[in-house]
Structure 1
Amino acid sequence: MAVGMAVLAAATGGALSAPAAEGAGPAAGPPGQVEFPTHCLPAQEAGLPPADGPTTARITADDPAPEVGDTVTVTYQVARTPAVNPTGAALPADVLTSTGRILLGGAQSGEVTVVGAKRSDPVQAGAGLPAVTMTGTFTVTAPGEITLAPGGYTLHTSHLLDLDTTCAATGAPVAERLTASPLPLADLRSLALGTAYGKPGARVKVTGAGFAPGAAVTVAGRAGAAETADRVAATADEHGAVLAELPVTDRATTAVVAYEGAAWSAQRGSGPAAYTVVDAAPLPQGTQKVTAVVEPGALSMTQAGEAIVLGAVPYGEGGAAPGRIGTVTVRDTRGGPAGWSLIGKVTDFTGPDGGSPGGSRGRVRIPGASLSWTPSCTAAAGSPSRCVPGSAGVVGPEGAVLASVPGTEPAGGTFTIDATVALTVPPYTPPGAYRAVLTLTLS
């Protein structure tokens, strides 16, 4: 079962565009340092000719091995530039600001906008402009090796006149490499029984979903942590659905599981679903067997509210837009050792049209992997099961566990689940409302 919720955030941040150019390896020097040809154009008001020459720069990242969904802070340091003081006078300290681009390649394409503080050494008239340091962030959206190469940069002076010197990079080599690992995939397999009890030898209808299309699936009886002699093979169809009939002859069977591979595991299986064998053995003359059956119920979920509204983030600063999901109540009256998992997935956040820094049309997006949460779960008084909140971290389109109950005895109860959420918004994201859909699936 699934519930879709609209997610709303007022945000600001930057967009990604062109891929990085691959070149030779970094030049000798500190890790991440490279040298590349640069063509610098002073402002027309300066009356100076273009300046051509090498730029020596260094790119570093705060996390060389992030996971998909992590936010990485990158630093672009320009140690030497052919650009010169565009004014006819000496520049005092702290009148130079800088912006630049870091080009992404490999597993993830695009560019990162980096910005430097208004902090610089004094510069004599006609002298070269000093070193600058610029920083920015980006969200990892794909696993694999991600390359970082320096792009163009702009040096802005604000003494006497506001003047921009724009430097274009030509064939800049890769300066830094990150290795991004994927998020673990959530197990969305599910299992349902046509009946929860029967006489020895009864054939139980088993319905499964969420298995790998075409996978060989084993449907088996279980008693506690061990499997019983009851077993049947099945094959998932092209949609991952499984239909089987399991003859239950072992009186020790108390549950049914289904799994891919050689043995059941929480990563590749579903269940256990509770099942009771009703003993039909004859009794001595003059005696009667009295059987009282407690009918199993269902696993159900309700949620308060229909939308999440996240806090606003200032344009140019970025940061975390906080919020909270609507409280979820899970009620498990199935009986037996069947546990459950509540999984969340979120789409990308779609914002206003045509607001990308490059001027391209189309909707601006913030990756769904930028949304993270911190779950909590409380069992109501008298609930025999222990509720386990999911780990704090990224939700994303791959999904994450919000809460779960292990498939062990005893089982059942009522559980209240909450989570605080935060959307990481990059600096200079175009202003506007950004919307996504968060879907919760209980199985």
Structure 2
Amino acid sequence: MALARSRAAARRRRRWTAGLGATALALTVGGAFAAPAGALSTASQAVEFQTHCIPPPIAGIPPIDGTTTAQITVDKTAPKVGETVTVTYTVTKPAASNPVDLALPADIMTPSGKVALTGAQTGSVTVTGEKKNPPVPGKGSFPAFSMKGTFTVTSPGAINLSPGDYNIHTSYIMELDTPCTVTNPPAPVSETVTAAAQPGANERSLQLDNASGAPGVRVTVSGSKFTPLTEVTVVGRAGAAETADKMTVTTDSEGGFAARLKVNDKATSGIVAYEGAAWDPEKGAGPVAYQVIDDTPTPPNSQKISASVKAGELSMTQAGDAVQLSAVDFGQGGAATGALQTVTVKDFRGGPAGWSLTGKVTDFTGPAGASIGAGKFSWTPACTTKAGSPSTCVPGTAGTVGGTGATLASTSNGTVTGGEFTVDAGLSLDVPAFSAPGSYAGVLTLTLS
């Protein structure tokens, strides 16, 4: 088309060979980045959609409308809320070929674009490709290319992914851009992921107004952070078994309650509260230690001799309040790693309750409003138990911490619990390749309950 123009126009084109090369690539949705072998999942499908590309004015070529075939794939088809999903946007059949006789050299093209999200989560994912392509012969077809990016799942449900707008940047004598848009957005859905809710840390808690009492005495049991306006069972415990000391109460609009539990059973050694028909550690709190004092009268001519062990507290300390993660390179990104400041947990309550140490992190804020999502922060927990401790510390599961929270370490409920424990973790922040250079900071909050 363009080669049939006037000689003056042809001379202008010869002076701007680089401009034609850039335009040729940009006119297609193609580039020259081959899709990695095995990158396409069977769940995704290739789709066709119309594109409208605007070449650089210096090329002297009008906008091009054509059909593009592309496919979206992901590394996780069933993520949890807070997890990071890697998205690959692959153009399998560009809309046009090189329109001129000039061959285009290798490694001059860098694509970037967007993947549209609809359904349970809306928005877009920024994707980029490598600056890598084979030579393209004159009038030859453009090869396939791929772009990658990530997004953090924020809502449970089906999330649809469709190919979006893109741009081809060329670095051949001149730096040129050609934006291409989806003619009738959104393009057809190519991939769907189904996200599940990430259970957060259980923050329910109990307090007693007294730690002991004679049989028949009522103890005030106060609960907080339960589900608002929900029926809660308050019951005594003898080890793992429930005793006859039991009642129900309804929480207020903020999830709190105050129950006056009458304790008669001398076997009661702790008190728990839970939502639902039976004990569930994810929907309950306790046990909180409670002692029923035997007030049986002393027989004649005898003396009752007693002694007591004073219960202490559940507490934690940490070796420091700052962690410096390793640096990553702009354009490469990757894992910024470090180690949690060691946490020491002391459980001197002497009751039947175990404990749980949880954490959640904020987004990492950087220069000029840049940020890295909390969902890109993960840990690998570890913990040790001091010899002689009745309880055994169990590390949490390695994985994403995020803003919803995760368990760092815990001990189980038992007849008698307690001890000293040290908790550590390897930390990692997955930094996107082209995050703005500078310092990023977030806050990790640990909660012991």
Matches within 5 A, 1:211-230: 211-230=226-245
* Residue 438, structure 1, aligned to residue 444, structure 2: yes
> Which amino acid in 1 is paired with 2:427?
V
For residue 159 of structure 1, report the CA deviation from its aligned partner: 4.3
For residue 235 of structure 1, report the CA deviation from its aligned partner: 2.4
CA 1:258/1:124 → structure 2, altered by over 3 Å: closer, same or farther?
A: same
Residue 402 of structure 2: aligned partner: 396
Structure 2, unmatched stretches of 5+, are 1-41
For residue 341 of structure 1, report the CA deviation from its aligned partner: 0.9
3-state SS of paired residue (2:58): helix
For residue 332 of structure 1, report the CA deviation from its aligned partner: 1.0
Matches within 5 A, 1:61-210: 61-85=74-98, 89-159=102-172, 161-171=174-184, 172-210=187-225
For residue 250 of structure 1, report the CA deviation from its aligned partner: 0.9
3-state SS of paired residue (1:266): coil
Matches within 5 A, 1:300-319: 300-319=315-334
1:135-192 C-alpha deviation (Å, 9 max, x unpaired): 2222223221111111122234444554433322222222111111111222111112
Q: Distance in 1 between matches of 2:139 and 2:180?
A: 17
**2:343 pairs with one of 320, 325, 328:** 328
1:58-91 C-alpha deviation (Å, 9 max, x unpaired): 1111221112232222222212223543776212
Residue 349 of structure 1: aligned partner: 364
3-state SS of paired residue (2:409): strand
* Residue 250, structure 1, aligned to residue 265, structure 2: yes
| Structure with more of its chain in strand, by fraction | 1
Contact preservation (8 Å) 1:91, 1:159: no
Q: Distance in 1 between matches of 2:43 and 2:366?
A: 40
Contact preservation (8 Å) 2:69, 2:94: yes
Q: State the identity as a percent.
A: 56
Structure 1, unmatched stretches of 5+, are 1-28, 354-362
Contact preservation (8 Å) 1:42, 1:86: no
Contact preservation (8 Å) 1:141, 1:369: no
Matches within 5 A, 1:27-66: 31-66=44-79
Q: How many residues align?
A: 406
Q: Distance in 2 between matches of 1:245 and 1:382?
A: 36
Contact preservation (8 Å) 2:44, 2:192: no
Q: Distance in 1 between matches of 2:170 and 2:101?
A: 12
For residue 197 of structure 1, report the CA deviation from its aligned partner: 2.1
TM-score (ref. length: structure 1): 0.86
Higher relative contact order (CA 8 A, sep 6+): 1
For residue 302 of structure 1, report the CA deviation from its aligned partner: 1.5
- Structure number with larger C-alpha Rg: 2
> Which amino acid in 2 is paired with 1:240?
G
Aligned Cα RMSD in Å?
Answer: 2.1
Q: Distance in 1 between matches of 2:292 and 2:134?
A: 83
TM-score (ref. length: structure 2): 0.85
Residue 391 of structure 2: aligned partner: 385
Q: Distance in 1 between matches of 2:172 and 2:445?
A: 53
Q: Distance in 2 between matches of 1:98 and 1:76?
A: 11
Matches within 5 A, 1:229-378: 229-353=244-368, 363-378=369-384
> Which amino acid in 1 is paired with 2:351?
G
Moved over 6 A (4+): none
